[in-house]
Amino acid sequence: MNPDTAAADRRFVLSLGCPDTTGIVARIAGFLADAGAWITEAAYHSDEDTNWFFTRQAVRADSVDCTVDELRERFAALAAQHFHPDTEWRLTDSGAPKKVVILVSKESHCLIDLLGRAQRDEFPGEIVAVVGNHSSLGELTERFGVPFHLVAFDDPDVSRDEAFVRIAAIVDDHDPDAVVLARFMQILPAQLCERWARRAINIHHSFLPSFVGARPYHQAFARGVKLIGATCHYVTAELDAGPIIEQDVIRVDHGDNVADMVRQGRDIETLVLARGVRWHLEDRVLVHGAKTVVFD
pLDDT along the chain (296 residues), means of 10: 63 98 96 97 95 98 96 97 96 96 96 97 96 96 97 88 96 98 94 97 75 65 73 92 92 80 87 97 96 95
* CATH number, residue 235: 3.40.50.170
Clarify whether residues 118 and 153 are in a common domain. Answer: yes
According to the model, what pLDDT value does residue 6 have?
63
According to the model, what pLDDT value does residue 209 have?
54
Clarify whether residues 48 and 75 are in a common domain. Answer: yes
Helix (H), strand (E) at residue 106: none
According to the model, what pLDDT value does residue 1 have?
46
Paired strand residues for 180:
102, 201
User: Which of 113, 240, 256, 283 is an active site residue?
Assistant: 240
Number of domains in the chain: 2
According to the model, what pLDDT value does residue 223 have?
65
Clarify whether residues 166 and 216 are in a common domain. Answer: yes
Give the span between the Cα atoms of 100 and 200, in whole angstroms: 10
Residue 57, φ and ψ in degrees, nearest 5: -125, 125
According to the model, what pLDDT value does residue 241 have?
86
Clarify whether residues 81 and 59 are in a common domain. Answer: yes
* Length reported for the chain: 296
Give the span between the Cα atoms of 26 and 7, in whole angstroms: 28
According to the model, what pLDDT value does residue 214 have?
64
Q: Is 219 exposed, middle or buried (0-12, 13-18, 19+ CB in 10 A)?
A: middle
Please measure the distance between the N-terminal and C-terminal CA atoms of the chain and give it in whole angstroms: 24
According to the model, what pLDDT value does residue 259 have?
83
CB 90 within 8 A of CB 283: yes
CB 168 within 8 A of CB 191: no
| Domain edge (last residue) among 66, 93, 120 | 93
Clarify whether residues 76 and 105 are in a common domain. Answer: no
Clarify whether residues 111 and 65 are in a common domain. Answer: no
Give the span between the Cα atoms of 148 and 48, in whole angstroms: 46
DSSP 204: E
CB 108 within 8 A of CB 100: no
Composition of the chain by helix, strand, coil, percent to 5: 35, 30, 35
Clarify whether residues 70 and 143 are in a common domain. Answer: no
Catalytic residue list contains 47? no
Q: What is the CA radius of gyration of the chain?
A: 21
Residue 293, classed as helix, strand or coil, is strand
Clarify whether residues 281 and 188 are in a common domain. Answer: yes
DSSP 112: H
Residue 145, classed as helix, strand or coil, is coil
* CATH number, residue 83: 3.30.70.260
According to the model, what pLDDT value does residue 16 have?
98
Helix (H), strand (E) at residue 55: strand 52-60
| Domain edge (last residue) among 56, 72, 93 | 93
- Structural domain range at position 189: 99-294
CB 133 within 8 A of CB 105: yes
